[in-house]
Structures are given as C-alpha cells and as structure tokens.
A = this chain, B = another copy of it.
C-alpha cells in the first residue's frame, strides 16, 4: 500500500537523525518561517467558529463555495505590475531540467513560472474564465483560503494570512450590490459585530469622486494622484490634505470648489441627490440614482441593523473598481474590516469579454484579532475528562471506554487520559482547557 510514499518517508525519517540533531550537524528549525505563524488551539477555535458562521450565513444567501490552487501562474500574478510589487510575490522555483536549463543559460528571469497567490480575486477571475460553462449564471462564489505576500514582517501583519471573499459574476443590476451588502452585514452581526462591536458601511462610486474632481477643475490626468492625497484625510486631516494639494501646485480655488462639494455631505443617502444636483453634467445621473437605491434597499430590508454612510471621498482601488465601492469600518477601532465593490472589467482580461462582477472581502485576520482581544470564550460548555489510573483492569477499562463512547455519541466532548501522580495539578491544567467535569477511574 502506498509503496512509493512509504519508501519516501523511509528515506526522510531515519531514527539515527536524532543523533545528528543532537550533535548539531543537522539544523532542524523549531520556529515557523519568518513572517508566518503557528496557530494554537485557542485561536483556531475562534477562527473555525467564525468560518463556520460565514459558510452558514453566506450559504443561506445562495453563495456556493469553490477553491482555487494556492500556486498560480507567475504570468498571471505578474501581469502589469511595477518593480516594487514584484518583490511581494513568493516565486516557486522550476524543477529538474527546466531549472537546469535556465541556470546554464544564465536566464535568471526564468527560474520560476509559478508563485503563491497574493489575493483570491485574481485566481477567482481565472477560475470563472476557465469553468464558466459549468457554472450557474449569476454565479455567487464564496472562496476562503490563505494568500501570501512577502511584505516586511510587522506586528500583527503576516506573510501568510487568510482571506474570505464573496463575489457575484454575471449580474449587472444593483440587485448584486444589495445582496452582497445584506449578506456581509448579516455575517458581521452573526459573528458578534453590531452589538458588541458596532460597525458601519461606507459607500461611494468612483464616478462620484471623479465628478467632484472634474467639478473642482482638477486636470483629468491627475485624478489618481489627487485621489491618493484625498484619501489621507483620516490620517492628516482636511487641513493637511489642503496643504498637500497646494504644495502640488493646485489652486486655492480648485481646492475650495472641491470642498464645497464635501460640505454638502453628512453621510446620509439623501446627500447623494444633493451632490448630484450640484455636480450637474459632471456626473452621470444614473450613477447617483443607482447608489441611492442600493442604500435605500439595504436600509429598508436590513431593518436598520446595517448602518450605511455615503462618503464621496472613499477611494479604494481606483483602477480596479468600475462602479459602487464600499468599506466596512467600526466606531471602536481604526482601519477597515472589509471592503469591496464592482469590477466589471477583470474577467475580460482572461476571456476578452467583460463580465459584470461585484465582490466583497472580509478582513478575516483583523476580525479574528478583534475577537481574540475581546477575550471571546472559546471553550464549549460541558467538557468532560476521564482520568484513568494506570493499574486499572482490562474489564474496568473496557467498561469505562464504552461509557465514554456513549457520551461522545450523545455529542459530549470527552477526553480520556491517564491519571497523573499529581492529580490536583492535572485537573487544574485541564480546567484551564475548559474541562469542568472529572470522572476518576481507579484500579481497585
């Protein structure tokens, strides 16, 4: 059985290696690879609880789960990227003859033809392009899994981290945005946000941002540069933004016309209509109406439990998105806990024909971090430990095992383990693992 696998293991794990390790001639490393982390049971319990809620809730909305390989074509990963970004990709080395050939030729650009995926959106678009014929239309996809970025390791920021995305392909109507926002809001509530950790969703459409810049008189070719400055407002304040724009030689008048737009907006959906009126021909009327309807429908059918705010300064990946964009924030901490929007042009990169697409990505690691800090209780109730004395008879052990198996069949969590000499200490440790009922089996 599995003979080749067996031989292979045989070559790997040879008992005498222990000696080499002891002598230091083999370097087995205990720590995880730089920037990546081991996940211990307490955190895993929270992660799995959240993942199972996500699967359950998104399932009710008709999303079906798919999976793409962790390894992706390098040419897909590197399509149209600057020099700095290239450094973020973990490249997987070619093997055998192919590697030898590239090295011999000195063709060092060609040492690899694949790499670890850096997000779930690119592989999903490839997936849809490849499997479109076997998929329903609209296709509502849920994708959960690790992604990899060779970023500078920072506190709380890892090189391997999980993402959790929902996307709807093939529906150009605003029903997609509404459904996505309702799904996301429901998931956040069921995870524990809303009550314990208030959240709200910020919405915009990149066309509104563009129209405001156009109305202000900023030159169109500068829109992306300006957007990046405008997006800094929550960090450097409106005054800081103003100064930076002045230093980039934009006029006071341009800036003030831009700010006139902002003064109109408090965050309510009605502000979209006010702004639309002001912007006049600078903004396609349908854009404003569309965003207004999305907000109205989500507010009404979400029964107010999903708070929305219109924010015409929201930028969020200008080149990527083609319509409404949104970001989830919380009043309790800075930074976003998820975001997304419409990106109708991505699938076209693979199949040459554009396909409507709306997506939302949960900031999975951030949510887990918040729940862990909030000291979420991860222990299931009623964990039972059977402590078995060493000299117990076979008959007694067998009876005990049968009892344990019956309790497990009833859904109880039952640990069966040898009784230590220091029973008190053992029980204390088990208590800290969530065991609150003890059964002691003695040999007498």
The answer to whether A394 touches B293 (Cβ under 8 A) is: yes
On chain B, the residues within 8 Å of A68 by CB distance are: 32, 38-39
User: Which residue of the partner chain, among B64, B85, B103, B415, contacts A12 with CB atoms under 8 Å?
Assistant: B85
Q: Does A156 contact B (CB under 8 A)?
A: no
The answer to whether A8 touches B85 (Cβ under 8 A) is: yes
Closest CB-CB distance, A70 to chain B, in whole Å? Answer: 6
Q: Does A273 contact B (CB under 8 A)?
A: no
On chain B, the residues within 8 Å of A70 by CB distance are: 70, 116, 146, 148, 160
Q: Does A442 contact B (CB under 8 A)?
A: no
The answer to whether B354 touches A18 (Cβ under 8 A) is: yes
Counted per complex, copies of this chain come to 2
Q: How far is the CA of A350 from the CA of B45 in the complex (A)?
A: 27
On chain B, the residues within 8 Å of A440 by CB distance are: none
Q: Which residues of chain A (409-427) have a CB below 8 Å from chain B?
A: 409, 411-418
Closest CB-CB distance, A45 to chain B, in whole Å? Answer: 7
Q: Does A343 contact B (CB under 8 A)?
A: yes
Q: How far is the CA of A103 from the CA of B349 in the complex (A)?
A: 34
Closest CB-CB distance, A94 to chain B, in whole Å? Answer: 9
Q: Does A274 contact B (CB under 8 A)?
A: no
The answer to whether B126 touches A430 (Cβ under 8 A) is: no
Q: Which residues of chain A (101-123) have a CB below 8 Å from chain B?
A: 103, 108, 111-112, 114, 116, 122
The answer to whether A15 touches B300 (Cβ under 8 A) is: no
On chain B, the residues within 8 Å of A71 by CB distance are: 33, 36, 90, 116, 148, 159-160
Q: Which residues of chain A (223-246) have a CB below 8 Å from chain B?
A: 224, 228, 231-232, 234
Given known contacts A69-B38, A348-B21, is B90 in contact with A1 (CB within 8 Å)? no
The answer to whether A402 touches B300 (Cβ under 8 A) is: yes
Q: How far is the CA of A21 from the CA of B75 in the complex (A)?
A: 12
The answer to whether B319 touches A37 (Cβ under 8 A) is: no
Q: Which residues of chain A (65-94) have a CB below 8 Å from chain B?
A: 65-73, 75-76, 79-82, 85, 87-88, 90-93
Closest CB-CB distance, A82 to chain B, in whole Å? Answer: 5
Given known contacts A12-B79, A22-B352, A52-B52, is B44 in contact with A65 (CB within 8 Å)? yes
The answer to whether B401 touches A62 (Cβ under 8 A) is: no
Given known contacts A38-B67, A60-B414, A404-B301, is B136 in contact with A13 (CB within 8 Å)? no
Given known contacts A10-B224, A160-B69, A418-B173, is B179 in contact with A349 (CB within 8 Å)? no
The answer to whether A136 touches B429 (Cβ under 8 A) is: yes
Q: Does A171 contact B (CB under 8 A)?
A: yes
Closest CB-CB distance, A167 to chain B, in whole Å? Answer: 13
**Size band of the A side of the interface?**
35 or more
The answer to whether B228 touches A3 (Cβ under 8 A) is: yes
The answer to whether A231 touches B1 (Cβ under 8 A) is: yes
Q: Does A96 contact B (CB under 8 A)?
A: yes
Q: Does A332 contact B (CB under 8 A)?
A: no
Q: How far is the CA of A114 from the CA of B29 in the complex (A)?
A: 11
Closest CB-CB distance, A122 to chain B, in whole Å? Answer: 8
On chain B, the residues within 8 Å of A135 by CB distance are: 40-41
Q: Which residues of chain A (292-348) have a CB below 8 Å from chain B?
A: 293, 296-297, 300-303, 315-320, 322, 327, 329, 335-336, 339, 343, 345-346, 348
Contact string against B for A residues 127-154, beta-carbon threshold 8 Å, 1 for contact and 0 otherwise: 1011100111110100000101010000
Given contacts A13-B343, A60-B412, 8 further A-B contacts (CB under 8 A): A1-B327, A10-B320, A18-B354, A39-B68, A59-B413, A103-B108, A111-B111, A302-B405
- Between A and B, 28 residue pairs with Cβ closer than 8 Å are A6-B231, A8-B85, A9-B320, A17-B349, A29-B73, A29-B76, A30-B129, A30-B351, A36-B69, A38-B67, A38-B68, A44-B65, A44-B67, A45-B64, A48-B55, A52-B52, A59-B413, A69-B160, A70-B146, A71-B160, A90-B93, A103-B108, A140-B415, A171-B418, A175-B388, A182-B405, A297-B398, A300-B401
